[in-house]
Amino acid sequence: MKKIRKVNTQKRKKKRKDAQKRLAQQTSLMMKHPTECCMCDLHFKRTPQTIKTWKVTIVEERVRLTCPTCWGVFVEALEKNEDG
């Protein structure tokens, strides 16, 4: 009969390992991010300001980069869909 503590430890190790694997995959996808906004094709210039304001989303294997203006439009559209 296995001890409960040992089983819980194995589960936590597996969860941690899976989370690290997922993080490594997403990090590698971030290195391949596009250089322009996915909606308006505005060029992304890497500066401290743009890094703070531009949004990167990863859905499955697809990486999208969105400028602040288009992100605002996107958020408004989502809010309208939720309300209506």
Domain range annotation of the chain: 1-32, 34-84
Asked whether the predicted pLDDT for residue 48 surpasses 80, the reply is yes
Closest CA to 34 of 68, 75, 62: 62
Summarize pLDDT for 1-30 with one digit per residue, the tens: 556 666 678 888 999 999 999 888 877 766
Asked whether the predicted pLDDT for residue 78 surpasses 60, the reply is yes
In this prediction, what percent of the chain has a pLDDT beyond 70? 87
With H, G, I as helix, E, B as strand and everything else as coil, classify residue 36.
strand
What is the value of pTM for the model shown?
0.57
* pLDDT the model gives residue 1: 55
